[in-house]
Structure 1
Amino acid sequence: MTKGEETRQFIIEKAAPIFNTKGIAATSMSDIMEATKLSKGSMYVHFENKDVLACAAVDHNMKLLNSKLQAEITQGKTAEEQLFAYIDFFSNPINPPVTGGCPLLNFGTEADDTNPIVKEKVNNVIKRGQKLLTSIIEKGIENKEFDPNWNAAEFATVLFAMLEGGHLMSRMSGNNDNMKTIVQSLRKIISEKKI
């Protein structure tokens, strides 16, 4: 990595949690300058404007979330264990795996009507999440862990939506009570689909 690439990466890593916590619109370049201790000139050498930096920060947050999630899922030896690992990974919105909360929810809510580039990035991550869950369930069906009539894609959508909804509810209430109910319910559904 060149010095310039290192500085660019440093800026992204410092900016990512700020954008995820405050939002794109509420984050100023001054916030990033304060976090990085870099001058305005240095910032603009690496990023044309705040929108370009925000997109890089969104990508960074999504990659961070995905790498942490993959580390948890790969520890599961069975499809059931992998689904439980996925659910458990998102089960504590008050202390989320990425600073500021779920970047899908944070950036998706902000960008749906205002930022088509970020909206598309979030939508692609949602699709990948559903595809991942579907493939885990299908692997479980193939390995005779789960009921062969289980609609993998349908449940993947339900699981994903319930966890994101639970995240929102928990962050708004300031506690994980709603998420605990959702996690229990999802685990029960999965257990009932075991052969």
Structure 2
Amino acid sequence: MNKGERTRQMIIERAAPVFNIKGIAATAMSDIMDVTKLSKGSLYVHFENKDVLAEAVVDYNLQQLQRKVVAAVTKADHPKDKLFAYIDAFRDPLSPPVPGGCPMLNFGMEADDQNQVVLAKVAEMVNNSQQLIIDIIAGGIDQGVFKPDWNYQEFATLMFAMLEGGIFIGNTTRKIDKMAIINRSLKKMIEAQSC
């Protein structure tokens, strides 16, 4: 990376938690100036406007979340353990994998009906997340780990929705007890489909 690329990356990395915590609309360029220690003019050298920066930050936050979940899943060898690792990556919504909470939930809710570019990025991540669950289960069925008649595509949607719902509940109530219930319930559903 040259100096300009390094500066651009530094801006994205320092702006990422600000946007994820405050939201796109509530984040001002002065907030980014504070965390980067750069002037407004310097920021505009690297990003045409706040929207362009926000889109880069959304990409970065979603990539960070995906990396952490994939890293947790790939530590496990057995398909059931991979699913459990996926679930456990979200077990404490008050200590999320990405500072500020789940960027899919944060940016998806804010972008709905307001920012089609960000909404499309979040939708792609939602689909990729569910596809990861589907691929793990399909591999487990092929290995004889899970029952062949499991409607795993439907379960992937259910699992994803329950985890995101648990994140929402945890963040709004500031308690993790409901996520513990979701965690246990999902693992019981997976055990019920194991051979």
Same fold (TM > 0.5): yes
Offset at residue 183 of structure 1 (A): 0.4
Match of 1:123 in 2: 123
Within 2, Cα distance between the matches of 1:175 and 1:31?
29
Alpha-carbon distance, 1:73 to partner: 0.3
**Shift, 1:141, TM fit:** 0.4
Report the Cα offset of residue 63 of structure 1: 0.7
Aligned position for 1:183: 183
TM-score of the superposition, structure 2-length normalised?
0.99
Is residue 90 from structure 1 mapped to residue 86 from structure 2 by the alignment? no
Cα distance in 2 for partners of 1:162, 1:178 equals: 10
* Unaligned runs of at least 5 residues, structure 1: none
Task: Report how many aligned residue pairs link the two structures.
Answer: 195
- 2:43 aligned with 1:43, yes or no? yes
CA distance in 2, matches of 1:112, 1:135: 28
Residue 146 of structure 1 corresponds to 146
Deviation digits for residues 36-81 of structure 1 (CA, Å, limit 9, x no counterpart): 0000110000000000000000000011111111111001111100
Matches within 5 A, 1:29-68: 29-68=29-68
Give the structure 2 partner of residue 112 of structure 1: 112
Report the equivalent of 1:171.
Answer: 171
Hey, what's the Cα distance between the residues in 2 that align with 1:63 and 1:25? 21
Ranges in structure 2 where 5+ consecutive residues have no aligned partner: none
Residue 22 of structure 1 and its aligned partner are, at CA, apart by 0.3
SS in 1 for 2:175: coil
**Structure 1 residue 113 displacement after superposition:** 1.3
The alignment-based identity, stated in percent, is: 55
Q: CA deviation at 1:187?
A: 0.4
Indicate the larger mover: 61-70 or 119-128.
Answer: 61-70
TM-score of the superposed pair, with normalisation by structure 1: 0.99
Q: Which amino acid aligns with 1:115?
A: N
Q: Secondary structure of the equivalent of 1:63? A: helix
Partners of 1:168 and 1:61 in 2: CA distance:
18
Name the structure 2 match of 1:3.
Answer: 3
Distance in 1 (CA, whole Å) between partners of 2:16 and 2:171 is 19
RMSD of equivalent CA atoms:
0.5
What is the deviation of 1:168? 0.2
| Residue equivalent to 2:72 | 72
The separation in 2 between residues aligned to 1:182 and 1:152, in whole angstroms, is 18
Runs of 4+ with >3 A deviation:
none
Aligned amino acid, residue 21 of structure 1: I
Q: Match of 1:86, SS?
A: helix
Question: Residue type matched to 2:97 in 1?
Answer: P
Distance apart, 1:9 and its partner CA: 0.2
Shift of 1:151: 1.1
2:166 alignment partner, SS class: helix
Q: State the distance in 1 between where 2:131 and 2:98 align.
A: 21
Partner of 2:155: 155
The residue that corresponds to 1:135 in the other structure is: 135
